[in-house]
Amino acid sequence: ASDVTEWLDNGGTVEFLNELTGELPEYGTVECKNIGGIFFFKWADKNIQAEISVIKENLNGLYCEVVFSPLGNAKPYIRNIVNLLKASEKSTFAKSLQPKREDIQCAELLEEASEEVIKGYREGEDVVDLDTLEAPRTSKYRLYPFYEESEITTLYGAHETLKSYKMYYDAILIQNGLEIDGLRAAKGNVLILDYETHKFAGRERVKALIKGLRKQGLKSPLYRKCKRALPLDILNIQKLILEHGIKVVFVDSVGMSCGGDANSQETMTSYYRALRALDVTVITIDHEPRDANNIYGSVYKEIIARDIFETSTTAGAEDTIKHLIVKHTKTNNRGRIPNISFKFEFDGDEDSIETVIVSRAEVPETATVFGAEGTKDTLIAHFKKNQNIPDTPKHTAYQIK
């Protein structure tokens, strides 16, 4: 008691003493989500949210971009780069935020968020006991028999082999949860990332395909025209996935979106790490070189994708009809499925395509597809692409089968 009296006599205040001895304020429950390495925090009772992203760690600390804003899409209160391991930087950030929200203890909220980020960033995923892990209750496939749930699948082929049309058709099936011609889609929101053409071309294709399905009330997938390389744009893509509840992402195409040399191991492994961080089902559209019938670029494209499908086309009896043949060339989790053929019937004029009807068809026996140039040329093309990779006759036969 004498110490308190002396402290008051020397300028201390009763108000400050009450702050020291009183109960700490209740901050309510924070909702935290980690989406692909971006941390989102929401304090609903305080009408404030935080987003912590672009996390990089080095010997000097754990640096990231920290944004605090009102709930919703309002203008941020503050945005800055903060070292979460340095108390002085966190204190400076909190002091800058405090005048904008005098009704809450900003330093406490920042500290709470910081601890969650440090823990989540460093610990990664929890260890799982596979013996007790329950099987998912949803289908193994997002679109049977092509796209496995939560995996990366590649669809590739030469130019003018209907890759993009198949992409849009599959996207519509998934968006609406349709079951047609042996294809079975698990319904979920779809985002198309288009690096090759413009939104009006995408709209024309989607509208024509929906019209060809002859069903009422079908929804179109979401579409985004992209300009920045995907690894550099990953933060915005992750936000779109969270905002719209996206379950499937189509990327058209790898060459335009990877942001570097498609033959480079470093470029492609970084690219696929970014795709993996999205934590959704991903389908990439890719191309093949003119002198070979395999995917253009680094062998890591084939290594990382869980399933790969090659497309080729043959002309129908009329100019408005094309046959798409899909060949399953690589798989990790199952046996390869037989070739599947689709008939695309186009109706329109010189200005636009009005309707596209898609149906299953018999695989043409006389189709000049999939390396029909002959075994010798196929082998030459294979060895050109893989000349620096040791191989065995058995594996070579498997690769060109």
Please report the DSSP string for 82-140 in residue order.
EETT-HHHHHHHHHHHGGG-TTS-HHHHHHHHHHHHHHHHHH-SPP--TTTPPPPSS-S
Q: What number is the average pLDDT over the span 341-348?
A: 96
Provide the pLDDT for residue 24: 41
Give the whole-angstrom CA distance, residue 269 versus residue 274. 9
Asked if the model's pLDDT at residue 94 lies above 80, the reply is: yes
Q: What number is the average pLDDT over the span 267-290?
A: 93
Provide the pLDDT for residue 353: 94
The pLDDT confidence band at residue 373, using thresholds 50, 70 and 90, is very low
Asked if the model's pLDDT at residue 173 lies above 80, the reply is: yes
The pLDDT confidence band at residue 19, using thresholds 50, 70 and 90, is low
> Ranked by mean pLDDT, which of 7-16, 141-150, 295-304, 357-366 comes out on top?
141-150
Asked if the model's pLDDT at residue 262 lies above 90, the reply is: yes
Provide the pLDDT for residue 374: 47
CA-nearest of 288, 284, 256, 261 to 272 is 284
CA-nearest of 58, 38, 59 to 50 is 38
Question: 146 with 307: CB under 8 angstroms?
Answer: yes
> Which of 126-130, 177-181, 212-216 is least confident?
126-130
Q: Which fold has domain 141-370?
A: Rossmann fold (3.40.50)
Question: 312 with 280: CB under 8 angstroms?
Answer: no
Q: What is the pTM of this model?
A: 0.74
Q: What number is the average pLDDT over the span 335-347?
A: 96
Q: What number is the average pLDDT over the span 261-287?
A: 94
Q: What number is the average pLDDT over the span 313-331?
A: 88
Provide the pLDDT for residue 34: 82
Q: Where are the domains of the chain?
A: 2-123, 141-370, 375-401
> Which of 195-204, 279-288, 313-322, 355-364 is least confident?
313-322
Percent of the chain with pLDDT over 90: 66
Q: What number is the average pLDDT over the span 384-401?
A: 58
Q: Please tell me whether residue 20 adopts helix, strand or coil conformation.
A: helix
Provide the pLDDT for residue 23: 46
Going 34 to 32 to 108 to 236, the CA torsion angle's sign is: positive
Asked if the model's pLDDT at residue 203 lies above 90, the reply is: yes
List the structure tokens of 135.
């099987």
Helix (H) or strand (E) holding 52: strand 48-58
Strand (E) positions, 293-367?
307-315, 321-331, 340-348, 353-361
